Amino acid sequence: MRRLLPALGTLLLLAPLAGAWPAEVKTAIGRDARRLVPRSLSRLLAEREPQIRDETARFPPELARALALDLPSGRLRPETLTGLDGEVAGVVRLFREKRVSEGLVRLGALVGIAADLSDPVLAVGPEGWPAGLSREYYALFSANLGRMPVVVDQDQRLDISRAQLPALWQSLLDRSREAVPTLRSELLRDGRVVSSRALDYRSPAWAVASLAYSRAVTATAATWLAAWREARGDTTNMGRPRLVVPREPPPGALAQQRRPPAPEAP
């Protein structure tokens, strides 16, 4: 068994982040993040969604390998943060060189950074996951994506500068690591992986997935905005989250909702 460990490490480097969120989830993250940026930028990104999806899939291999090494440790190394910042710097440089369309595609593809760092499956430590657990988590996520509300995670993050992005990225990984024990306890019971079909919105695993998605959306918008502002892009007509205040339902409302329907007429 010990002789297999180096081989497994080599496979990890050859196929980094192979268990990450599916491409359609990253596209959905981008769509929701567009609601938090200026309308002009949102429209420009929406017009290039197919190209952005392709560019996201072409994430630099050397950075993917660096993340594959760092995520299990829970700490992003300085050289990894430098590489990630280099991707943002490259976007700003394209804008300043008036290569606007290319810059917009590269900007949109930065969704991959926030998405991977917000994924608790990738943040598991060296012990890894039992076989099949990550598959069931992603199945639960994909089946419920349309039902997950997007909650802006600390809206002040939408105002951060490029220099503050490394701290944001590390905080995403910290939060992902904190979610690992919950996923393990909810999706592994009596030594067996729980089927995603046995879980719904009441499950803590569903809550983990929903919050991870919201963090990815907020961090994607924050990353885009930091680069856009540094390139002197238009920041008017900003999308802003709507504050939702919990309220007690009126008396009898819950009972009314749970009341069985009247029988059909014969």
pLDDT tens per residue across all 266 residues of the chain: 333 333 334 334 434 454 578 888 899 999 999 999 999 999 999 999 999 999 999 999 999 999 999 999 999 999 999 999 999 999 999 999 999 999 999 999 999 999 999 999 999 988 889 899 999 999 888 888 888 888 887 778 899 999 999 999 999 999 999 999 999 998 888 889 999 888 888 889 989 999 999 999 999 999 999 999 999 876 665 555 554 434 444 544 333 433 433 443 44
219 CB-contact burial (10 Å; exposed 0-12 / middle 13-18 / buried 19+): buried
Separation in Å, CA 24 to CA 27, 30, 146, 165, 210: 5, 10, 12, 25, 16
Separation in Å, CA 134 to CA 61, 155, 180, 212, 265: 22, 30, 11, 15, 48
Say which DSSP state 110 is in. Answer: T
Task: Say whether domain 19-230 belongs to CATH 3.30.565.10.
Answer: no
Closest CA to 226 of 43, 89, 21: 89
pLDDT (0 to 100) of residue 127: 85
Helix (H) or strand (E) holding 188: strand 188-189
pLDDT (0 to 100) of residue 239: 53
Query: How many Cα neighbours within 13 Å face the side chain of 52?
Result: 27
What b/e readout covers 227-258, taking b as 16+ CB neighbours within 10 angstroms?
bbbbbebeeeeebeeeeeeeeeeeeeeeeeee
Report which residue type is found at 43: R
Domain chopping of the chain, boundaries? 19-230
Tokens 């719904």 correspond to 200
Task: Report the 10 Å Cβ neighbour count for 133.
Answer: 19
